[in-house]
A and B are shown apart, each in its own frame.
Chain A
């Protein structure tokens, strides 16, 4: 494929898909180890009612109210989960399950009951996003990367997910040590003065922001898959958290790139006519990688099990 074709049509969706995958996979590492991976699932579902409510209030598809609505819904969900867990004295997984299914269902109902048919806001978009449509029509080839005029025409999703990714990387880098210590041993972390409650909440909010930005660009399927699959697959490749993070980023990139390419060209190679959903294919790739590492990964056995009873 030439630059003239690749840059306008494929470069931006590829970058957006990759950035979204990494932004979700990074906090996903900690969520998986904290056995909170379901929170990614929960957040990516509860953003739907938030977005719908924001749309109903403003009456337009404008990004910032919607992102605020999504973030508000995510925070409401986190608070509800915590409240149900404490008041009901049940395990967090159950509380998450109750909250996110209810809020997602409410979001779907709201969508159905309101006049959103004229705008690009429906369940299908919420699930699969619209990755293929995030093209860069102002580009004419690789040289456009240095052309300020053409750069101004980049899809805004790219800068949003790019900024989000930078934020996620900064958070992970800055709080690496307290995150690692409190994930491994929360009691000890508190005794050395780490405010584990605040840090845990900050992690969930970071994940929520990543989920909302990714949801905006690529839909919730990728979000759910990327919070869990690359980190879980990475865990089976290594016994060191530092290395696990690197593997999870590598797997996120492979999923995004291979998924995008296969979605666009796979059916053609197989003699079909149409492309399939890139978001769906990216999520499938991450699942495939997880399956492969579960079978062949060098660190998949829980060696410590016999001692930890």
Chain B
């Protein structure tokens, strides 16, 4: 036991816990009797794109929400760039699941983007021309500049997802956390989103994505984090995204054909 603790201590130091964009230790979250996330450690690598992968109900979204303080964990610590979450809110941008909000809400696309500037605007700060032009620029980056004045309910699913991404861009953060941004979007939107995420990475930002499509993991991401309530594997795609770890995370739920396909893709 002592060995184990010492071992972990070394590992944490090696991974640079102090400066990691997102470091999670011993996180346990429970909605009812059964834990949704159990004693999870995670260390996100800076300047990379990390996919959180696991079967349905494995606690992927819950892990993200607990890391952001949206749900309260039973136990565990979260640090963001080496400091407590509450001191680092300005450096984080979060893109929730599209279905988590009511798109019938009476507001326009541009107003949603401006929500990303609300820390800068404060309680009563006036929205000035430079804020609007910043928001418009963010809409530009996701190819939605023509929709600024639309009511958000008039958008397609893919367009809604892009609006959420544009709001995160407006936050001008260092760490981007996205919950299933590719779920139920059209191919053009998926392409647009991945282009934006790659440009963020090139600008030195850290991107963490809850992802469900195993076929695109190797194309899109540098690192993976496999979870099924407990952590299954963590590391670079080459090292942690293997037939064995997938089998272990998904159990019998992943068809052998899928695993073969992934193994072939991995070479």
Task: Tell me the A residues contacting B by CB distance below 8 Å.
Answer: 33, 89, 174-175, 177-178, 180-181, 183-185, 187-188, 190-193, 235, 238-241, 243-244, 299, 302-305, 307-308
B264 smallest CB distance to A (angstroms): 35
In the complex, number of A-B residue pairs with CB atoms less than 8 Å apart: 99
Kindly state the separation between the CA atoms of A188 and B117 in the bound complex, as whole angstroms: 12
Instruction: Give bound CA distance, A155 to B157, whole Å.
Output: 55
Q: What are some 29 contacts across the A-B interface (CB < 8 A)?
A: A33-B105, A174-B124, A177-B118, A184-B112, A185-B96, A185-B115, A187-B70, A187-B100, A188-B96, A188-B115, A188-B167, A191-B69, A191-B92, A191-B94, A193-B119, A238-B106, A239-B106, A239-B107, A240-B111, A244-B106, A299-B151, A303-B153, A303-B154, A304-B152, A304-B153, A304-B154, A305-B104, A308-B99, A308-B153
A102 to chain B, nearest CB (A): 26
> Assuming A175-B123, A177-B118, is B105 touching A184 (CB within 8 A)?
yes
Q: Report A-chain residues with C-beta under 8 Å of the C-beta of B93.
A: 191
A187/B65 in contact, CB under 8 A? yes
Q: Is B103 an interface residue (CB 8 A)?
A: yes
Q: Indicate if B11 sits at the interface (CB-CB under 8 A).
A: no
A91 to chain B, nearest CB (A): 15
Tell me, yes or no, whether B228 is within 8 Å of chain A by CB: no
Note all chain A residues with C-beta closer than 8 A to B100.
Answer: 185, 187
CB-based nearest A residue for B86? A193
When A193-B89, A304-B152, A304-B153 are in contact, do A240 and B106 touch as well, CB less than 8 Å? yes
Asked if B108 is at the interface (CB within 8 A of a chain A CB), the reply is yes
Is residue B121 contacting chain A, with contact meaning CB distance below 8 A?
Answer: yes
Question: In the complex the two chains form, is A302's CB within 8 Å of B123's CB?
Answer: no
CA distance A235 to B108 in the complex (A): 14
Best-surrounded residue of B32, B92, B102 (most CB of chain A within 10 A): B102
Contacts of B119 in A (CB 8 A): 192-193
The secondary structure that dominates the A interface is helix
Query: What CA separation (Å) do A240 and B106 show in the bound complex?
Result: 5
Out of A181, A243, A299, which one reaches B115, CB within 8 Å? Answer: A181
Shortest CB distance B156–A (Å) = 5
How near does chain B come to A171, taking the closest CB pair, in angstroms?
12
B191 CB to nearest A CB, Å: 19
Contacts of B23 in A (CB 8 A): none
Chain A residue nearest to B68 (CB atoms) is A191
Partner pick for A177 among B103, B112, B123, B151, CB 8 A cutoff: B123
For B99, list chain A residues within 8 Å (CB).
Answer: 308
Contacts of A239 in B (CB 8 A): 106-108, 151, 153
Name which residue of chain A comes closest to B93, CB basis: A191
In the complex, B45 has a CB within 8 A of chain A: no
A89 to B31 Cα, complex, angstroms: 10
Inter-chain CA distance A302–B121, complex, in Å, is 31
Which residues of A are found within 8 Å of B96, using beta-carbon distances?
A: 185, 187-188
Whole-angstrom distance from the CB of B260 to the nearest CB of chain A? 33
- Residues of A within 8 Å of B238, CB to CB, are none
How far, in angstroms, from A258 to B12 measured CA to CA in the complex?
Answer: 71
Chain B 171-201 interface mask (CB, 8 Å, partner A; 1/0): 1000000000000000000000000000000
Q: Which of B65, B106, B108, B118 interacts with A181 by CB under 8 Å?
A: B118
B160 proximal to A (CB < 8 A): yes
Contact of B156 among A181, A190, A193, A307 (CB under 8 A): A307
Q: In the assembly, what is the distance between CA of A244 and CA of B151, in Å?
A: 13
- Residues in A with CB closer than 8 Å to B129 are none
CB distance from B162 to the nearest CB of A (A): 13
Closest to A245 in B: B106
With A33-B105, A184-B102 known, 17 other A-B pairs at CB within 8 A are: A33-B102, A33-B106, A175-B123, A181-B118, A184-B112, A187-B70, A187-B94, A190-B70, A191-B92, A191-B94, A239-B107, A240-B107, A240-B151, A302-B153, A304-B151, A305-B153, A307-B103
A181 to chain B, nearest CB (A): 5
* Chain A min CB distance to B134 (Å): 16
With A190-B68, A193-B86, A193-B89 known as contacts, the answer to whether A174 contacts B123 (CB < 8 A) is yes
Chain B, range 79-135, C-beta contacts under 8 Å to A: 86, 89, 92-94, 96, 99-108, 111-112, 115, 118-119, 121, 123-124
Q: Across the A-B interface, give the 4 residue pairs with the lowest CB-CB distance, nearest first.
A: A304-B153, A239-B151, A191-B94, A193-B89
Does B155 make an interface contact (CB < 8 A)?
yes
Residues of A within 8 A of B160 (CB): 307
B65 touches A307 (CB 8 A): no
Report Cα–Cα, A104/B156, bound state, in Å. Answer: 45
Q: Do the beta carbons of A241 and B106 come within 8 Å of each other?
A: yes
Q: How far is the CA of A248 from the CA of B68 in the complex (A)?
A: 35
Are A307 and B94 in contact (CB-based, < 8 A)? Answer: no
| Beta-carbon contact of B104 and A304 below 8 Å | yes
- Kindly report which residue of chain A lies nearest to residue B154, judged by CB atoms: A303
Decide: A308 and B103 in contact? CB cutoff 8 A.
yes
Shortest beta-carbon distance from A92 to chain B in Å = 15
